[in-house]
Amino acid sequence: MKIGIAKGLLYYIYYPLWRTFFEKLGCEIIVSDDTNKNILDRGIKDFADDACLPLKLFRGHILELASKSDVIFVPRLVSVAKHEYICPKFCGLPEMIKNSIAHLPPIIDETLNMHKNGSMEEMRGFFMSVGRHITNDKSAISEAYSEAVKAQRGYDALLRSGFLPIDLLGDRQDKAFREIKSARDYSQAIGIIGHPYVIYDNYLSMGLIDKVRQAGYGVITPENVADDVIDEEADKLPKHMFYTFGKNIYASAMHMIRSKSVKGVIYMSAFGCGVDAFITELVQRRGRRLDNIPIMILNIDEHTGQAGVDTRVEAFLDMIKWRDQHEGDVPAYR
C-alpha cells in the first residue's frame, strides 16, 4: 500500500515517527516534493481565504499526493502534550482537506489528543487506530509503533545535539553529517525561531537558514533546545502557555537570549498566524527586558518578494558584525 505523507506542517517534527511506523507495516511511503511555486499555487487556489499560508501550502502538497498514493495520512493533531494544544486549525485539518479537494484517495484522519495526560499511552492508542487502516494484526502494529518511537527518539536526540530538520530529512542527510556543521561547530550563532513549517520550508522561508549559515553563523532553532529547558523558561511566565509550538518558540528564544548563546534572533512568521500574533510581541518585549540582543521579525506572505527579506537579513547580519567588532569579546557561544 502506498501511503502519502505531505511535506508540510508537522512533517518536519514527526516524519521519522510516521515513516518508520508505516514502513514496519510494509507500506511504501510517498512524500510530496519540496515546496515549489506550483505546489503553493495549487494549494492557494479555491481554498478558504482566511487560512494561514502554511495550511494553504499543505493543501497543495496533498494535491500532489492525490494521484500517487493509495491512502493519504492527514492525522487530526489536537494535542501532543499535557494541558496543551496545537493551533486549532489542526483540529479541522482533515475536514478542510476533504471538503476542498474532489476525488481524493481515502484519508487516515485518526485523532491524536494527549491533552489529558500527555502520556505515551495516548500516543500508542492513536497509532493502534492508525495501524488498523493497514492491518488487523495488533501485535504487528504494536511492534511497528515501538520501532517508530525508537526512530523518533534518535531523530530528537540529533536535533537536540544541534542538527536541524532540513539537515536530517530528505536527501541532505549524508551531506549534513559530512559537511553541514551543527551549530556547535560555528564560533557564533544566530537564533532562527518560528513555526517549524515556516522556518524549515526552504521555499517559504526563502532559504533563511542557508543564508545565515553561508554568512558564517551557526543556526539555533527551537528544535535544538531541550524540553526541560523549554519548560523551565515557560514556567517563568505568570500563566501556562497552552499552545505547544508557541510555547516552544517563546521559551527557546528566552533561553537563547538569557544564555547569550546567540548574537541575534530572527523570528520568521507567516502572515495570518494567530499564535504568532501574540508570541512575536511577547518575544520582543520580554527579550528586550532580558538583554539587548537584537531581535528581528520577518513577516512572509505569498506575495513577498525575495528582495525585502534579503535586505533585512543582510542588514541584520551587518549589524551583528558591527556590534561584534566593537565588543571585542570572546565568542559567547560555547
Residues lying near other proteins in the complex (CB under 8 A) are found at 33, 36-39, 203, 207, 284-285, 288, 292, 294, 296, 299, 301, 304, 307-308, 310-312, 314-316, 318-319, 322-323, 326
Three cell numbers, residue 245: 509550538
Q: Give 138 or 175: the residue with its C-beta nearer to other proteins.
A: 175
Q: Give 94 or 264: the residue with its C-beta nearer to other proteins.
A: 264
Task: Write down the least CB distance from residue 43 to other proteins, Å.
Answer: 13
Query: Distance (Å, rounded) from C-alpha 61 to C-alpha 31?
Result: 9
Task: Write down the least CB distance from residue 326 to other proteins, Å.
Answer: 5
Closest CA to 221 of 194, 246, 185, 184: 194
255 class by beta-carbon count within 10 Å (0-12 exposed, 13-18 middle, 19+ buried): buried
State how far the alpha carbon of 318 is from the alpha carbons of 188, 269, 308, 314, 315, in Å.
14, 22, 16, 6, 5
Q: Give 232 or 318: the residue with its C-beta nearer to other proteins.
A: 318
Three cell numbers, residue 75: 492525522
- The separation between CA 309 and the C-alpha centre of its own chain, rounded to angstroms, equals 20
Q: Give 178 or 303: the residue with its C-beta nearer to other proteins.
A: 303
Q: Give 83 or 285: the residue with its C-beta nearer to other proteins.
A: 285
215 class by beta-carbon count within 10 Å (0-12 exposed, 13-18 middle, 19+ buried): middle
Task: Write down the least CB distance from residue 246 to other proteins, Å.
Answer: 19
Query: Distance (Å, rounded) from C-alpha 155 to C-alpha 125?
Result: 22
Q: Give 25 or 204: the residue with its C-beta nearer to other proteins.
A: 204
As a whole number of Å, the end-to-end CA separation of the chain is 47
Task: Write down the least CB distance from residue 125 to other proteins, Å.
Answer: 38
Specify whether the CB–CB gap between 25 and 140 falls below 8 A. Answer: yes
Task: Write down the least CB distance from residue 308 to other proteins, Å.
Answer: 8
Task: Write down the least CB distance from residue 120 to other proteins, Å.
Answer: 39
Task: Write down the least CB distance from residue 313 to other proteins, Å.
Answer: 9
CB count within 10 Å of CB 24 equals 18
156 class by beta-carbon count within 10 Å (0-12 exposed, 13-18 middle, 19+ buried): middle
Q: Give 38 or 117: the residue with its C-beta nearer to other proteins.
A: 38
Tell me the H-state helices in the chain: 11-24, 37-44, 53-66, 93-100, 120-131, 138-160, 165-168, 173-178, 196-199, 208-214, 227-234, 244-258, 274-290, 306-327
Task: Write down the least CB distance from residue 210 to other proteins, Å.
Answer: 10
Q: Give 187 or 311: the residue with its C-beta nearer to other proteins.
A: 311
